[in-house]
Structure 1
């Protein structure tokens, strides 16, 4: 039996079909946009000795901005020749990429995808034309970095072994004295024991110096160095010491920003930081450095106090950078914004240390602006 569809149901079916077509079209545009197929683009090329892990469709970034994709990979025709990449770039970013620009292959995060990162070059250089070739930088391989870190650890192990041998000799001398071998007069008149002690002292000083050198080398080895870069400082005791700069600061109670013992900003805390950002921007210059220092009282032990205050300082830094851009110092420039958790520690060498009226649980926003010689 034939059954007719009413006009309202037919209209609803039509609207539903049009909705599906619109959704499909929207999805197609989004996919095409992700692959830079619908925007105005142009092409550049780069050559690398190795592109391990990079594939066609890989992302291209200019100063951290998603700028395009790897359109094609041309393998070498003979052994030893470079691998050539064809890059499709957003035409809106063309003025940023100059003839002295450099391209390198990096990893997003520690175990992320391989991408191409372009350093734009200098403002004085000419704009790289369509079809131009970008100078390339040798890719930074994780295996090479880990090998360097392993070598540094081996050197540290060797130094520790030397220190252990020195301590064993000192213990042997101490045991001989405790065992009644020789006399105090012999120790004072015989040059040999004295010379040995002097040699051991010199060796101990050299050992400590070698250990410090190796620790400094480890701090500059990726990925360890990225930890200090993220926090914005290397030495906590020196974070508030700027003898060549003027100092402006604002102190905020912990309770105005966080719930007790927490490092998650409250709604009132975010509103408070909006006012802090306005104050900060009134005093910032291109050379100003910002330090966010967090302190707490003696209610926690040292380890827990340091962890709490460090996470509080980083939460404030993230909010002020992400929402108010206080790390920006103009085109292609950024300023240091350090997040330092002092825990219960009171830093040394502060020219304007907070007075007793300041709460123990507090955060200080400090602006250091270098002063020119008069």
Structure 2
């Protein structure tokens, strides 16, 4: 019985140890689907194999190797090889960047990765861009220099006040000159009389302004009536298919808005609506994105804007050019079936050429002067 009990205890201990080893191995990513990426830094103080890698602050992998540069000239970098879990590696884009951060009171290191934006396209060569972490020593030095300058200014101000009190310099003499006080007093009296006369003149002008205001109000009422009539015409069953309403197509408060924006120069030949090979490569990313959206209520809009400072375009030519560019992108996407949902359902696609603009939407991120934007609107319950 004692031997049997001892055997059970040994088996339990071995099982607990195995579970613990399995958890440690899982935490180290030994059995997970991983991808290796690299990044180079001029210096990697206190970074070693096993240093955590975090994407948006979430543990996503670790440093597996550190390679010393093969030369010590300009541009020499220490290469860090990072093992990243596969579920996070697919979210790294071409403009992804890495930075060495210090965490905790003891200054432990961590590799912080910013994944980038989908508009930049996927990460091709597995090489992340390195960004420099804030240097506290440099910041302290700048603060010290600023404090020294403030001290110099304070000394100059103190000397200036002393000179004024002693009557030294031009300002000191002016402060103590009684004749100057009398002159300023007389000037103030004259200014008050001038202001009083100005008030009388403004009273006369005010009546004219009221007449102008009534005229403007009448004009606004007229414009409102014309707009209501125009809106009614646009909503007519036959005519609404031929009228482009940029606001209705691009402003949808009840929908979640997701957009991908490209510079016109990146996807079209200059001054045309002809897609380039590079442009088709960019739009292939959009095709993959949209095919992953299965919500049959979601709708698309393609909008194009021309740089208002482009000397080669007039307002009319810019309107036609942007209309053709948005149609070219729409036809490319339709040809690849992004508007199909199942056998019968079709996703609605709106094309908008804004000419010189402006767009009815205030963009949260900066956009190029001339751009094409693919927008996905998903209704929210």
For Structure 1 versus Structure 2, the TM-score category normalised by the shorter chain is: 0.3 to 0.5
Structure showing greater Rg: 2
TM-score by length of structure 2 reads 0.42
TM-score by length of structure 1 reads 0.43
